[in-house]
Amino acid sequence: MEFMEFLMGMDESRLQAEWQVWLAENLALGVPEEDVLQVLAGAGVEPGLARRELESMGAHPAFQACQRLARHYGGLEALLDLYSDLRRGDGGWTLERRKDLSAEEFFVRYYFGHRPVVLQGMMEDWPARTQWTLKSLGERFGQVVIEVMTGRDANPDHASQYERHRTQMTFAEYVRRVEAGGETNDHYMVPRNDNWRREGLQALTADVRAPRGIIDPALNPDMLTLLLGPAGTVTPLHHDNLNVLLCQVMGRKHVKLVPSFERHRVYPRKGTFSHVDAARPDLERHALYSEATVLETVLEPGEMVFIPVGWWHWVRAMEVSASVTFHQFQVPGGNTHLSPPP
């Protein structure tokens, strides 16, 4: 089939449905008509047809409703841009590092202030800090059957298509893979694997401590997760629908954070994921990302980073890495949740 036939479908008097959607979206978002016509001409659309489609689109009641929604959307974006500018003036564009932070200040300035922070000195009493190594974990839990996400390198969309990558193996086998595999993103024990609650691994709870006054000391297994993997493991840019305290036990992690209120600058897809590769952003395709506030740090062993609900984050393990996340904050009503739209 010739490209022009594909573009218009069987009816040469109309654009194909996908191009009609593209046309409606771009016009509703305020892209100048001449720019739209230029793209269609570059795709091989006859100028008269392109002009007729544009005029027909503009007169359609459904498109007029889209325009009203787009203006509402644009107003919200303008408000978020204003908020981002204001946060620049109160330190909101700085990833603070705090030692000996009180629980009261943590909640007032960071949790309810909706800003991230790196916490230092809160893991000095963790047995995990001295006892967790690949060798020791393999010896303690070698026969426990765990679940790991494998085959990630072959699928750029592995994070959202995680069900395709679930693989079971013994802990000992997984340790062998991590030790032998070198730097790779191909096998990772992620929170979705739910290994913390598996019989045989729950003993790991005794190796961690809840930050006093911040996390529920009961350490409910439902509100704890374990992340373990080799150097090169990448968590793509995404956000969680609740607050997270990420605690680095072993190895270092490179972390990038983008504010929740700059959502329109990270090109969301599938709800909680971003189209942007935060390691190598393509600013021709994702130009607005150049305007995003990117807070960046290397998380050292013994450090924690508070990731507020809705904040976008990208994480890469620089060495063999083990992390624990807490979700059960000591606040009335429990952790704040972001409810996605229906």
pTM attached to this predicted model: 0.84
- Encode pLDDT of 317-333 as tens digits: 999 999 999 999 999 99
Q: Which residues, in sequence order, are CB contacts of 1 under 8 Å at separation 6+?
A: none
Is the pLDDT at 5 greater than 60? The verdict is no
pLDDT at 1: 36
Residue pLDDT, tens place only, 143-167:
999 889 888 887 777 777 777 888 8
| pLDDT value at 198 more than 90 | no
Asked whether the predicted pLDDT for residue 236 surpasses 90, the reply is yes
Instruction: Summarize pLDDT for 33-51 with one digit per residue, the tens.
Output: 898 889 898 888 898 998 9
Output 103 or 194, whichever has higher pLDDT.
Answer: 103
Q: Look at residue 302 in the predicted model and tell me its pLDDT.
A: 98
Residue of 156, 99, 89, 73 whose CA lies nearest to 293: 89
All structural domains of the chain, each given as residue ranges with its CATH number in brackets, are 1-90 (no CATH), 95-326 (2.60.120.650)
H/E stretch holding 167 reads strand 166-170
The region, left, alpha or beta by phi > 0 then psi within -120 to 50, assigned to residue 280 is beta
pLDDT at residue 235 greater than cutoff 80: yes
Per residue in 256-294, pLDDT tens? Answer: 999 999 999 999 987 899 999 999 999 988 999 999 999
Across the range 6-16, mean pLDDT stands at: 58
Helix (H) or strand (E) holding 168: strand 166-170
Give strand ranges (E) for 47-164.
96-99, 117-120, 145-150
For residue 225, pLDDT over 80 is answered with yes
What gap in Å lies between CA 289 and CA 265, rounded to an integer?
5
